[in-house]
Amino acid sequence: MSTIRLTAAQAAIRYIAAQRNEEGAPFIAGMWAIFGHGNVAGIGEALHAERDSLPTFRGHNEQSMAHAAIAYAKQLGRRRAMAVTSSIGPGATNMVTAAALAHVNRLPVLLMPGDVFANRGPDPVLQQVENFTDGTVSANDCFRPVSRYFDRIARPEQLLTALPRAFRVMTDPADCGPVTLAFCQDVQAEAYDWPEHFFAEKIWRRRRPRPDENELAAAIETIRAASRPVIVAGGGVHYADACETLKAFAEKHAIPVVETQAGKSALPWDHPLNLGPVGVTGSASANAVCEDADLVFGVGTRFQDFTTGSWALFKNRNRRILALNVQPYDGTKHDAQALVADADIGLKLLSEKLGGWKVEAPDPTLKEDWFQAADAVTAAPSAEDNALPTDMQVIGAVQRAAREDTVVMCAAGTMPGELHKLWKAGRPGSYHMEYGYSCMGYEIAGGLGIKMAEPDRDVVVMLGDGSYMMMNSELATAVSMGAKITVVITDNRGFGCINRLQMGTGGAEFNNLLDHTHHVNPSHIDFVAHAASMGAEARKAGSIAELETALAEARAARGPFVVVIDTDPYPSTEAGGYWWDVAVPEVSERREVNAARTAYESALKERT
């Protein structure tokens, strides 16, 4: 057996660069890196040597670099991914939030934080977290619960098993998620005689599991017994490239489709069988058919509480749940009948077995009435209207400026709920929402990741002032990379979404809006100047009309273009929506809280 002598870090990077997806492209498209004493000498030197085959990108925060990597993978339907490396200590733990985001959303990312010395010679090394009762613990153990696969590389030859396992997880449709390889910094620099065949190019093909024959037969029987079925389309529809198959299935059998946050854009918004978004942030049309459904057929969804109205939405006492999912864990939630399979294959086999079976199509007026209500709140205000714009009106302006190639994205605050309700997604991949973890700060970094994944798409990032303040540094990275993204900042002077939730549960307005906090000096943040200071083109829009003018101007921009508009923190779309289980205190001195508790207890009784 012929061998080649390399350091462990050199071997890891060379192996990563040699892995391909089924289309022949490198599965890991690049490495995001902030160097420190835990990775600069080992991994840093190795990345420099492989810079032509595995490009290295530098951001400004480890968490947001990982967000960009995760958004890249999501936008490409998990067909490709990115890696992120950090030093030990705070550089590593900065990535834990991003790891949790990827874990919840079932998205691949390879995290390679530096770790302490395996030989323990300099213990405690700078930034080392010491455990008084366990000498094997390091800060990187924080990654264990939020990684699909975790390994600590304490000897070079451990990479011979760890790296293939890592790629197996990232390319497996059922187990897909973040992988953490904590890399002891002394081991990174240790040499080893590696078998040359370890670095041969390898193609990782997406597994498409077929259903068990007994499960398939049982699913057919369950569907045939239904008279009012509804399909809940989740993110798995996109990851299985099953959007066209879902459309054909729904049309053949006349079954209405409702969309989760991750599933939105699976069908065009104007398709007659697309009844719109479902659940807490859902449309009246979608929620009406879900309340009455005798079969809830989930396709690629994990049935998050926002989807199910905290399991109060499906009110039919005789309803059954059928879950077509590649992951058995998701297929059996709430006593669902599982059909474990690839969504594309599963839908095709079901349709073939069902033959000409179909149900009565949904009432078209449900959809018509919903969009009439949606159009009313997104319409531009009159020129004489001097009130602060609403978030819904901002969405309307962005929608009118959108083109066929536009991708709208968001993650946290007011906008995800309003976009889920109101955005008219024309084709798959045009709506990118991180609402599994709903992580503030994902937005700008995520927009950069989307642009890197699909450079020809028009990427519009929508976020509030709260998210912008929490994490905006990758705007400077987007400037330096020449990534043309449009960022729309709605400034409602605080955390408007949670302020409304606080009020809705009977609480006093407290510590959410900036005017309701214990600050000596009032806040006057100039977001336009801040964005411009990082190199972005930036404008302040004083009205919806000025916003539309700025969005038209953004089309000619060469790099990031930021538009800031002040908005009213209080209004939200009254139409649609559904109950969400947010526990209200049983005892309070506030009359409003006691009233909210009474309403809460009544709602709990309605949950099926």
414 falls within a domain = yes
Residue with tokens 């068990």: 212
pLDDT in tens, 496-512: 999 999 999 999 999 99
Q: 410 and 338: one domain?
A: no
pLDDT in tens, 296-344: 999 999 999 999 999 999 999 999 999 999 999 999 999 999 999 999 9
Say whether pLDDT at 592 is over 90: yes
Q: How far apart are CA 336 and CA 117, in angstroms?
A: 48
419 falls within a domain = yes
Q: How far apart are CA 112 and CA 192, in angstroms?
A: 19
Q: 187 and 271: one domain?
A: no
Q: Please give the residue range of the domain that contains residue 338.
A: 213-364
pLDDT in tens, 166-207: 999 999 999 999 999 999 999 999 999 999 999 999 999 999
Residue 32: both structure tokens together: 């995001």
Total of domains in the chain: 3
DSSP structure class, residue 76: T
Instruction: Give every CB contact of residue 534 below 8 A, 6+ residues apart in sequence.
Output: 472, 475, 476, 479
Q: How far apart are CA 343 and CA 499, in angstroms?
A: 39
Q: What is the dihedral of CA 38, 40, 44, 45, to 10 degrees?
A: -110
591 falls within a domain = no
With 0.75 as the threshold, say if the pTM is over it.
Answer: yes
Lowest mean pLDDT among 384-388, 427-431, 469-473, 585-589: 384-388
Q: How far apart are CA 520 and CA 518, in angstroms?
A: 7
Longest alpha-carbon distance in the chain: 81
Average pLDDT over residues 536-559: 97
Q: 148 and 273: one domain?
A: no
Q: 395 and 524: one domain?
A: yes
pLDDT at 384: 84
Q: How far apart are CA 555 and CA 536, in angstroms?
A: 14
Residue with tokens 């949904």: 362
Average pLDDT of the chain is: 97
Reported confidence tier of residue 481, pLDDT bands at 50, 70, 90: very high
Average pLDDT over residues 64-80: 98
Beta-carbon count within 10 A of 589 CB: 6
Q: 259 and 390: one domain?
A: no
Q: How far apart are CA 100 and CA 434, in angstroms?
A: 12
Q: 241 and 261: one domain?
A: yes
- Between the alpha carbon of residue 421 and those of residues 234, 247, 275, 415, the distances in Å are 15, 21, 11, 10
Average pLDDT over residues 254-278: 98
pLDDT in tens, 358-367: 999 999 999 9
SS3 445: helix
pLDDT at 523: 85
Average pLDDT over residues 61-70: 98
370 falls within a domain = no
Q: 230 and 273: one domain?
A: yes
The CATH number for 189's domain is 3.40.50.970
Average pLDDT over residues 60-78: 98
Q: How far apart are CA 488 and CA 251, in angstroms?
A: 37
589 falls within a domain = no
For residues 495 and 470, is the Cβ–Cβ distance under 8 A? no
Give the containing element (helix H, strand E) for 184.
Answer: strand 178-184
pLDDT at 608: 65
Q: 198 and 227: one domain?
A: no
Q: Please report the sign of the dihedral spanned by the C-alpha atoms of residue 573, residue 428, residue 178, residue 10.
A: negative
153 falls within a domain = yes
Q: 357 and 388: one domain?
A: no
> Of 175, 204, 233, which residue sits at a domain end?
204
Say whether pLDDT at 452 is over 70: yes
Say whether pLDDT at 557 is over 90: yes
The CATH number for 284's domain is 3.40.50.1220
pLDDT in tens, 77-109: 999 999 999 999 999 999 999 999 999 999 999
Residue 550: both structure tokens together: 């700025």
Question: Crossing angle for the helix pair 364-378 and 284-292, nearest 10 degrees?
Answer: 150
Residue with tokens 């099953």: 242
Q: State the burial class of residue 500 (Cβ atoms within 10 Å of its Cβ: 0-12, 13-18, 19+).
A: middle
Q: How far apart are CA 130 and CA 331, in angstroms?
A: 41
Q: 151 and 19: one domain?
A: yes
Q: 128 and 98: one domain?
A: yes
81 falls within a domain = yes
SS3 268: coil
- Between the alpha carbon of residue 497 and those of residues 281, 301, 416, the distances in Å are 13, 25, 10
> Of 339, 364, 389, which residue sits at a domain end?
364
Q: 174 and 257: one domain?
A: no
Which one-letter amino acid corresponds to residue 207?
R
> Of 536, 551, 566, which residue sits at a domain end?
566
Q: How far apart are CA 229 and CA 219, in angstroms?
A: 13
For residues 246 and 276, is the Cβ–Cβ distance under 8 A? no
572 falls within a domain = no
Instruction: Look at residues 145, 138, 31 and name the one whose alpha carbon lies nearest to residue 90.
Output: 138
